[in-house]
């Protein structure tokens, strides 16, 4: 039998039991930490009301989470300004991922409440998952393993630069 090592999975499994305890909300931690810690927290963009962080346990390369800074658990609790900023940040993220990853499509969505599948039900966030034709194979089905082809640190650097470039281009218009 061949072994396929995926040590990040054990980190994820361990985090499920501890992340709702004393460690608090990872999105609030990322939002409140100074920008000097963005690489460590996988933050790739900070707007005025929302920010973008890479998923530490991604389904695909480029899997992003878009969230308001304010710790709120339901979309209906967002202010009008937060709702608009959330959608604008999702659109910006789609443009950036389109330029950097060149996917054939995207899954975009939010799981609201634990019953709906939310791993972090108390802080609204929208998942953006780039998809490619043929990106599914036997690994997730038979081995429950997803192969991610790029280190998170390298992808964080690349995406941070791409967000900066995208904003600079939009300012020139």
Q: Which of 63, 101, 123, 125 is flagged as catalytic? A: 125
The boundaries of the domain holding residue 76 are: 23-167
Q: pTM for this one?
A: 0.78
How many structural domains does the chain have? 1
Q: Is residue 8 one of the residues assigned to a domain?
A: no
Contact 164, 97 (CB under 8 A): no
125 catalytically annotated: yes
Q: Which CATH number characterizes residue 122's domain? A: 3.30.428.10
User: Which pLDDT tens digit goes with each residue over 114-155?
Assistant: 888 888 899 999 999 999 887 765 444 444 545 555 678 888
DSSP character at residue 102: -
Q: Is residue 13 part of a domain?
A: no
Please report the pLDDT score of residue 17 as a whole number. 45
48 conformational bin, left if phi > 0, alpha if psi -120 to 50, beta if neither:
alpha
Q: Is residue 10 part of a domain?
A: no
**Residue 120: inside a domain:** yes
Which residue shows structure tokens 């081995």? 143
Average pLDDT along the chain, 173 residues, taken 10 residues at a time:
54 49 79 96 97 91 96 96 98 96 94 87 95 67 50 88 89 62
* 11 occurs within a structural domain: no
Question: Do 128 and 109 contact (CB within 8 A), yes or no?
Answer: no
CB 63 within 8 A of CB 131: no
In a domain, 44, yes or no: yes
């Amino acid at each position: 039998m061949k072994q396929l090592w995926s040590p990040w999975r054990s980190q994820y499994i361990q985090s499920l039991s501890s992340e709702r305890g004393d460690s608090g909300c990872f999105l609030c931690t990322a939002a409140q930490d100074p920008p000097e810690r963005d690489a460590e927290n996988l933050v790739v963009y900070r707007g005025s009301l929302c920010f973008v962080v890479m998923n530490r346990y991604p389904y695909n390369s480029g899997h992003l989470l878009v969230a308001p800074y304010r710790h709120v658990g339901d979309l209906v609790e967002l202010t009008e300004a937060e709702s608009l900023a959330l959608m604008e940040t999702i659109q910006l993220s789609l443009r950036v991922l389109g330029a950097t990853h060149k996917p054939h499509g995207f899954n975009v969505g939010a799981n609201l409440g634990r019953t709906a599948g939310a791993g972090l039900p108390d802080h609204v966030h929208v998942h953006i998952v780039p998809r490619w034709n043929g990106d599914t194979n036997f690994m997730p089905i038979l081995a429950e393993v997803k192969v991610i082809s790029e280190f998170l640190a390298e992808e964080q650097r690349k995406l941070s630069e791409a967000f900066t470039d995208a904003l600079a281009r939009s300012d020139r218009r």
